[in-house]
Structure 1
């Protein structure tokens, strides 16, 4: 048998292949298959986790939308209540200001009337004093003689009859 013949080359190649295949199967095939199976399980687990996370995100999104809607409704209610309170406060302030204005006007009218009455009384007092002074001076001049006194009495009697 020759070492370089084609049959011997096929024989030795087949023997080496079989030995190599047995060695691979015994030492490498199980770890490779275990790694592939582990990788497959890891991928399946990641896919399941992703699906679970997607469902949870959908639930959270729906929950967030519901919470946002409730917050909007509550905000609108609070704003409406605040506007109503503002309008009521403005109306109350206007009514109070109107009432105080009317009171102040009435007080001013009363003060003016009081001042007017006091001024009129003082004016009457001055006029009456002035009239008495004038009458006294006139009567002194006119009543200094007898004829003027008689004439004055007759004029007064004539005025009394006319009134």
Structure 2
């Protein structure tokens, strides 16, 4: 076991020579390819980052434009709503005014019609009173009666009028 712990200088020299040869060969043939690949990959990552930042900036600009358009559309919609409300109020006022005018006109017509009917009824009542008075007077004159018989004749005439 002691032999295992003692270094073998021949193997050590060969291992160092092999390592140096490997480093030389890697540097000669592979190192430039590996470094070139890493640099290419680093450049690609940088380009991808730049494209992502450009895309993010473009998306942000587009978002701002869309927000501005949305605000403009919202403002225009608010204006149109306000205009529609104003138009609705004007139409409401016009309709109410027309309805008031029509109701005033109908009220005036109704009053005139009532007044005409009242006058006609009064004329009919006056005519009926006049006919009754004439009829009663003619009966009183024809009979030359006493006061009691005149009252009975007037009562009879009034009963006839009520019956009609």
Q: Which residue of 1 aligns with 2:69?
A: 67
Deviations 1:11-47 (A, max 9, x none): 3123212332244335543442233123202211111
**Greater relative contact order, per chain length (Cα 8 Å cut-off, separation 6+):** 2
Gaps in structure 2 of 5+ consecutive residues: 1-6, 146-164
Partner Cα distance (2:73, 2:21) in 1: 75
Partner Cα distance (2:53, 2:8) in 1: 62
TM-aligned CA deviation for residue 101 of structure 1: 0.8
Q: Which residue of 2 aligns with 1:48?
A: 50
Partner Cα distance (1:132, 1:121) in 2: 16
TM-aligned CA deviation for residue 121 of structure 1: 1.9
TM-aligned CA deviation for residue 96 of structure 1: 0.7
Partner Cα distance (2:11, 2:127) in 1: 160
Number of corresponding residues: 139
Q: Mean Cα displacement is larger for which, 81-90 or 20-29?
A: 20-29
Q: Which residue of 2 aligns with 1:96?
A: 98
Q: Which residue of 1 aligns with 2:132?
A: 130
Partner Cα distance (2:94, 2:23) in 1: 101
Gaps in structure 1 of 5+ consecutive residues: 144-163
RMSD of aligned C-alpha atoms?
2.2
TM-aligned CA deviation for residue 90 of structure 1: 1.3
Partner Cα distance (1:78, 1:120) in 2: 62
